[in-house]
Amino acid sequence: MKHKNIYIAELTSSEVILSNWARSTVVEYIPEDCGQKNDLEQASYFSRIHQYLLNYNPANYNFKTVRFSSLDGSLFVNADQAFIEQFPLPSKVNQNFFNYYFDTKNLNDLIIVNCDDYVKINGVYFRIISLFPNYPELTSPNFLASIGDYVIQFKKTNQDAAIKQMEFKRNVFNGSRYKEKRDVEGDNAYYEAETFLENLKKGSEAHFSSEVFIVIKAHTEEELFRKTESMTKFLSSTSLSYIIESESLTELFPSIMFGIEASFKRNIPVDSSYLINLLPLTRDYIHESGSRFFSLDNPDKDVFIDLFDKSSHNYNAIWKRQILVSAKN
């Protein structure tokens, strides 16, 4: 797949090698189940990842982009090997990481068709929707999980450059503070820039370029348009800004693939605290082997619950419901 004369030359079990010999690693990572954590445990979990984002320095990496992908229920991170080796979440090699896009590692076999506003790869249809030109002001961890398949990619801004950008932004809004008629929005923007600038200098915040793309995958053109209509209705109901990519598709679609450096054509600058909420960092689990609950007052006492065990008080109700459902079908 060509993009600015740089294309994927080779795929291995966990690595993408480009024609310019740039290498990046892809692993499937396993986030924690925050539903089982109290507020303090959740804060500690996100703080650990936030600190990692503050500490990493892309100047030391050959591959500059960090890409998180939530695709078909699997979560992947694609970055320089050094970033992934120290990433504070467990990961595993998934040799089929590219199967979401195509089911072969022989790239010469791919038949890629660029249409007006979608891409067709070996008979499978893809469309991308960019969240642009802004993200919502208020967010919570993993708030993008409900939109389905998506890719978020980011790159850390050099601290000196970030400080200069924020100083410029602060100075732009500084004039509004001295107008005869008060500019509330300008005042808020000034104090926001001032606070972020202080945190940048202290090292408690960092500045990032970021992009978020929703990926719609279908096996027929009719299915593609049906899924697109459903997605745009959902996005409109949530007040998310978006663009269905068309003219820029030939540039943007390759740039969200594993192993390709991001173009940041749809760049939205964010701070590290906001970036944490964009990343898919939580996952809910069904505990098929049961769950054990401990008392805060008396750690020696615990309660074990397994709804699927025959000794469970609710087991007969679950069993009877399964029979009724089977009988109806």
Residues 307 and 270 occupy one common structural domain: no
Q: What is the pLDDT of residue 206?
A: 96
> Identity (one letter) of the amino acid at 301?
K
The pLDDT assigned to 212 comes to: 98
pLDDT of residue 308: 64
Provide the β-strand partners of residue 154.
66, 210
The residues pairing with 209 across neighbouring beta strands, listed in sequence order, are: 155
| Domain-embedded: residue 58 | yes
- Total number of domains in the chain: 3
Statement to judge: residues 263 and 236 lie in one domain: yes
Question: Do 13 and 120 belong together in one domain?
Answer: yes
Nearest partner of 122 among 106, 140, 133, judged by Cα: 106
Pair (141, 216) in one structural domain: yes
Domain boundary (170, 198, 226) is at 198
Q: What is the pLDDT of residue 203?
A: 92
Q: If DSSP codes are grouped into helix, strand and coil, which group holds residue 8?
A: strand
Whether residues 193 and 213 share a domain: the answer is: no
Q: Is 258 inside a domain boundary?
A: yes
Sequence-ordered alpha helix ranges (H) in 103-183: 159-174
User: What residues make up the domain containing 76?
Assistant: 2-151+206-278
Q: Does residue 68 share a domain with residue 133?
A: yes
Place of tokens 């299915």: 223
Could you tell me if residue 126 is inside a domain?
yes
Structural domain contains residue 286: no
Angle CA(102)–CA(105)–CA(107) in degrees, nearest 5? 80
Domain end among 136, 171, 198: 198
**Same domain, residue pair 193 and 264:** no
52, 92: one domain: yes
Q: Is residue 253 assigned to a domain?
A: yes
Residue 22, domain member (yes or no): yes
Mean pLDDT of each 10-residue bin along the chain, 329 residues long: 65 90 94 89 96 94 96 95 95 92 80 90 95 92 92 95 81 62 65 83 95 97 97 92 94 93 95 96 71 71 70 53 44
- 256 found inside a domain: yes
Angstrom distance (rounded) from CA 192 to CA 268: 17
Residues 173, 24, single domain; the answer is: no
Residue 109 forms part of a structural domain:
yes
Cα end-to-end distance, the chain, whole Å: 46
55 and 175 share one domain: no
The predicted pLDDT at position 81 comes to 95
Position 327 scores a pLDDT of 44
Q: Per-residue DSSP letters for 198-210? A: HHHHHTS--EEEE
* pLDDT at residue number 103: 80
pLDDT, residue 289, reads: 67
- Could you give the residue ranges of the DSSP H alpha helices within 203-301? 221-237, 249-255, 272-278
pTM of the complete model? 0.82
Same domain (yes/no): 178, 302: no
What's the pLDDT score for residue 74? Answer: 93
Q: Which residues pair with 305 in a beta bridge?
A: 291
**Cα(235)–Cα(122) distance, integer angstroms:** 29
Give the DSSP letter string of 163-189: HHHHHHHHHHHHGGGGSSS--HHHHHH
| CA dihedral angle for residue 145, residue 148, residue 149, residue 150, rounded to 10 degrees | -50
215 and 192 belong to one structural domain: no
